Amino acid sequence: MKKVKILLACMVTIGLSSCSKFLDEKPSNQVDAGTSIKTPADAQIMINGIERSMTNGDYYGRNFVLYADAKGGDMTIPSQGRGNDGLYTFNHAPTTGSYSGYWSQIYFVLLQVNNLLQNIAQLEATGVTGFDTYKGQALTLRALMYFDLVRLYGKSYDDNKTAYGVPNITTPIPSSAQPLRNTVEENYTQILADLKAAAPLLGKTKNNGFINYFGNIALQARVYLYMKDYMNALKFAEEVITTSPYVLYTNGNWVDSWKTQFGTESIFELGIYPLEGDLGLTSLGAYLRKKGEGGSNVLGWYMASDYFLTRLKQDPADVRWGVMNDDELSTPAAPRKGALYKYNGSTTLAGDGKTTPTAVNIKVIRLSEIYLIAAEAAMPTDAGKAATYLNAIRKRSPNLPAATAATVTLDMILEERSKELFGEGHRFFDMIRLNQSITFNDEVIGLTVATRPKTIDRTFFKTLLPISQTEINANPGLQAQQNPQYNQ
């Protein structure tokens, strides 16, 4: 039932509740965009429902965040058959292992956004005011969703921006419509158009759990970095760094920040709440902790690779060890701290102040990332500035020498991104956008993988997900636009 054709039909009906029946999704605090959006307060409820849908297990609730670390070489599996192995082994095909939940869930949330935006426009046309903030949030969230989709299904911008991306759907359309894929360039054009239109509508004060002006600007910095438009990436990153209310965590409070909601450097954070979005023992936190800890159904799905641990071992005093704990391969003679506890609040499962330790908010954009964007964007023109921004994060390894204009390199920045953003959904996308090779730690469990080589780069066709056969059956025109080699 999770088909783009169904989604598009739902867009016509405007009533979101009817669509959610088809998709087995029922966002909290939901109202019908076609009949109930009359006031800004109604729009706020719709934004709540949109963000609730974004925390689904197929999106930021688990699988999308897991995607980049499982595929990026910083994580490995302790055993086969526990769940989501296909991300690590690249066991993808249109009919099996397509991970079509990314496509169906994100387009479902886009359905909600487009309905909200259309109804705001209709109300504004009659003279109703007060919707700017919600329109700005919706446009920014739409940009984020399309950015996520094009990274899953489309080539890197500098690889081939004329290659297929994903269908740009920005308004409700007839149920008979079967839109085809836009190009990567067209997707990025739409992403930037939404971000530019949204920015002046948003306030600059902290808005816990919701996008504000600086969340929009931070996302622009991220998008421009992927486009290798370093001038604009640096411009927007520096605006956040120099004028926003966000402050980097100190070495002393970095570890405890993970058991805090909406901390000082959390620019955009999606709330996860008990009985509402909490995936419990199938949550991201449970997937990354040690097998058996907190429940017999905790299987230890993923852990840090040897490559990542070697990187972190450069400094035993690195504060980021504070969210790592023994994994199931650890022994007294050979301790191995490969289990990640960011999404459990702490290594003692403290959570982030709620009644369950798995109801931990997802930090989508942090100020640390923005400093690292600024460092990378400054590298081509100002190595001294790049070193300064890098050192603001590198000092979390207090025994490592500070970078200088003479010593800073792109590899140092990429390595720091790995250590700082581990488990936050970046590594694979970083490696692919920079055309780096990725080597997998298969030997940690003596694994032989038939569905990918041990080392890959972005020329490997499975670095793009296939369009699932279910989607193609619903929209046959997509068959000719399937990602390369999946039709063979």
Domain that holds residue 294: 267-362
Output 177 or 61, whichever has higher pLDDT.
61
- Residues 77 and 119 placed together within one structural domain of the fold: yes
- Residues 310 and 354 placed together within one structural domain of the fold: yes
Q: Which of 362, 378, 408 finishes a domain?
A: 362
Of 92, 170, 144, 188, nearest to 483 by C-alpha is: 92
Q: What pLDDT band is residue 275 in, cutting at 50, 70 and 90? A: confident
Phi and psi at residue 303, in whole multiples of 5°? -145, 170
CA distance 398 to 318: 6
CATH of the domain at 63: 1.25.40.390
CA 220 to chain centre: 15
Q: Which of 331, 362, 393 finishes a domain?
A: 362
Greatest Cα pair distance, the chain, in angstroms, is 73
pLDDT in tens, 324-376: 999 999 999 999 999 999 999 999 999 999 999 999 999 999 999 999 999 99
Q: How many folded domains does the chain comprise?
A: 2
Strand partners of residue 455: 439
Taking the model in full, what pTM does it have? 0.93
pLDDT for 317 equals 98
pLDDT for 36 equals 66
- Residues 336 and 192 placed together within one structural domain of the fold: no
- Residues 468 and 326 placed together within one structural domain of the fold: no
pLDDT in tens, 220-252: 999 999 999 999 999 999 999 999 999 999 999
- Residues 55 and 178 placed together within one structural domain of the fold: yes
- Residues 325 and 199 placed together within one structural domain of the fold: no
Region 476-484: mean pLDDT is 96
Q: Is residue 379 part of a domain?
A: no
Burial of 190: CB neighbours in 10 Å, binned 0-12, 13-18, 19+: buried
Q: Is residue 368 part of a domain?
A: no
Q: Is residue 23 part of a domain?
A: yes
CA distance 203 to 377: 26
pLDDT higher than 50, residue 483: yes
- Residues 279 and 213 placed together within one structural domain of the fold: no
| Block residue for tokens 């930021």 | 60
For residue 447, give Cα distances in angstroms to 66, 77, 89, 168.
20, 9, 10, 40
- Residues 168 and 65 placed together within one structural domain of the fold: yes
- Residues 306 and 452 placed together within one structural domain of the fold: no
Average pLDDT, the chain: 92
Q: Is residue 258 part of a domain?
A: no
- Residues 222 and 335 placed together within one structural domain of the fold: no
3-state secondary structure of 394: helix
pLDDT in tens, 461-473: 999 999 999 999 9
pLDDT in tens, 105-162: 999 999 999 999 999 999 999 999 999 999 999 999 999 999 999 999 999 999 999 9
Q: What pLDDT band is residue 14 in, cutting at 50, 70 and 90? A: very low
- Residues 150 and 10 placed together within one structural domain of the fold: yes
Which H or E element spans position 325?
A: strand 324-325
Q: What secondary structure, in 3-state letters, does 232-283 show?
A: HHHHHHHHHHHHCCCCCCCCCCCHHHHHCCCCCCEEEEECCECCEECCHHHC
Q: Is residue 257 part of a domain?
A: no
pLDDT for 5 equals 37
CA distance 283 to 301: 11
Q: Which of 329, 362, 395 finishes a domain?
A: 362
- Residues 95 and 144 placed together within one structural domain of the fold: yes
pLDDT in tens, 426-470: 999 999 999 999 999 999 999 999 999 999 999 999 999 999 999
DSSP string, 158-212: HHHTTSB------S---TT----PPBHHHHHHHHHHHHHHHGGGS-SS--TTS--
Q: Is residue 432 part of a domain?
A: no
pLDDT higher than 50, residue 318: yes
Q: Is residue 382 part of a domain?
A: no
pLDDT higher than 80, residue 32: no
Q: Is residue 128 part of a domain?
A: yes
Assess contact for 74 and 305: CB atoms under 8 A. yes
